């Protein structure tokens, strides 16, 4: 058996991924040792933060590209984990991977067993996984939205953005999204229940946003930066809060502190600015997040759209498309069959 996987072919990688950035390799399928399990990857999660992760040289040379994954156990030497079980893990852009003792796990991403009865297994890398916790931590714990306040979310149809705005709605806030194409804006207001959505592609974007926020902005959930932030900046109210979750406009920058200009400009207007690292919220908040958000997902109060592409070969193109905003919903690639559907 062989294990196919994608790795970085260019080190350092270019500002944005191109056709020569990644290489498809093959190796033997690893054998699990004591306290380890071999898993077959089903879903690979593609998220903007991963490009910064790759450009900082965090991934070992020749290793599979990092990503959160949902997989099925093939062989197990872990008590309580049997072949056929489903797990959240970090196999990355690979068909197979190991989890358990001695297997590196990036940062806060602790592997765990999944229960398909509690939701689609793909949701473990989405609304009921780290993306959902990211939205919860940034919006509820940092943004502190109150009933009647105006909340703005950039990249509102993306994996984190679509959750963050709905959580603010559950707190009684008026929520305005920022998205791109008209169909994305229609989804944000029609399916997600945002009060308004404006397109950053519009030539009158800044004026459109001002018209959608006549009382100013109290909470801003930042996923983009750049020109989108510049339109938000003059609308901040006194005592407003801003969470910097992502800055996709800066992920191709060379060096420097991405977001430093945005933070300084916001703080100069008296805005309370928080950088968001979800790892700070796993211990002490993960269970509360699942207890509150899980039932909302189950009964449809929080909706969630996935953009699922097919096949290991499609990973580089899907990743580049996601970074350019070409996805519609949370971007996933299914690289092997999902037995639960």
Q: Report the CATH number at residue 112.
A: 3.90.180.10
22 within some domain: yes
The H or E element that residue 291 is part of is helix 282-298
Whether residue 113 sits in one domain with residue 147? no
Whether residue 193 sits in one domain with residue 96? no
296 within some domain: no
- Overall domain count for the chain: 2
Whether residue 275 sits in one domain with residue 135? yes
Burial per residue of 31-60, b for 16 or more beta-carbon CB atoms within 10 angstroms, e otherwise = ebeeebbbbbbbbbbbbbbbbbbbbeeebe
Whether residue 199 sits in one domain with residue 63? no
Question: Which pLDDT score is estimated for 230?
Answer: 96
- Roughly what angle, to the nearest 10 degrees, separates helices 282-298 and 161-170? 80
- DSSP letter string, 83-94: TT-EEEE---SB
Whether residue 135 sits in one domain with residue 37? no
284 within some domain: no
CATH of the domain at 184: 3.40.50.720
pTM for the predicted model, two decimal places:
0.85
215 within some domain: yes
- The residues of the chain scoring below 70 in pLDDT are 106-109, 249-258
Question: Which pLDDT score is estimated for 283?
Answer: 81
Strand order in the sheet with 217-222: 196-199, 174-179, 150-154, 217-222, 236-244, 272-275
Whether residue 98 sits in one domain with residue 147? no
Question: Which pLDDT score is estimated for 249?
Answer: 64
Question: Which pLDDT score is estimated for 256?
Answer: 54
Q: State the residue range of the domain holding 119.
A: 2-126+304-334
Whether residue 148 sits in one domain with residue 40? no
Question: Which pLDDT score is estimated for 258?
Answer: 60
Contact between 285 and 133 (Cβ < 8 Å): yes
Question: Which pLDDT score is estimated for 282?
Answer: 82
147 within some domain: yes
DSSP state of 140: I
Two tokens at 289? Answer: 């997040």
Two tokens at 135? Answer: 């939205």
Whether residue 153 sits in one domain with residue 43? no
57 within some domain: yes
What is the dihedral angle through the alpha carbons of 154, 156, 158, 160, rounded to the nearest 10 degrees?
80
């Amino acid at each position: 058996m062989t294990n196919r996987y994608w790795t970085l072919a260019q080190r350092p990688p270019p500002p944005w991924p191109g056709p020569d950035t990644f290489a498809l390799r093959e190796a033997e399928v690893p054998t699990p040792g004591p306290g380890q399990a071999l898993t077959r990857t089903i879903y690979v999660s593609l998220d903007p933060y991963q490009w910064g992760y790759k450009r900082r040289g965090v991934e070992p040379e020749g290793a599979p590209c990092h990503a959160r994954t949902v997989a099925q156990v093939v062989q197990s030497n872990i008590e309580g984990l049997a072949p056929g079980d489903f797990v959240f893990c970090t196999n990355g852009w690979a068909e197979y991977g190991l989890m358990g003792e001695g297997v590196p796990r990036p940062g806060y991403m602790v592997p765990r067993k999944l229960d398909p009865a509690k939701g689609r297994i793909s949701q473990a890398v989405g609304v009921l996984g780290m993306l959902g916790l990211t939205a919860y931590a940034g919006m509820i714990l940092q943004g502190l939205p109150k009933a009647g306040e105006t909340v703005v979310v950039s990249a509102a149809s993306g994996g984190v953005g679509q959750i963050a705005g709905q959580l603010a709605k559950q707190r009684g806030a008026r929520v305005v999204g920022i998205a791109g194409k008209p169909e994305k804006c229609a989804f944000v207001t029609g399916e997600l229940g945002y009060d308004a959505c404006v397109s950053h592609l519009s030539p009158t974007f800044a004026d459109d946003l001002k018209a959608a926020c006549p009382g100013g902005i109290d909470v801003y959930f930042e996923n983009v930066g750049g020109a989108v932030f510049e339109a938000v900046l003059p609308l901040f109210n006194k005592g407003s809060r801003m969470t910097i979750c992502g800055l996709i406009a800066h992920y191709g920058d060379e060096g420097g502190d991405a977001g430093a200009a945005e933070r300084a400009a916001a703080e100069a207007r008296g805005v309370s600015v928080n950088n968001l690292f979800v790892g700070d919220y796993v211990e002490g908040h993960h269970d509360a997040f699942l207890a509150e958000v899980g039932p909302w997902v189950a009964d449809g109060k929080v909706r969630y759209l996935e953009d699922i592409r097919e096949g290991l070969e499609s990973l580089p193109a899907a990743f580049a498309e996601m970074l350019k905003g070409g996805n519609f919903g949370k971007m996933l690639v299914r690289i092997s069959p999902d037995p639960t559907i």
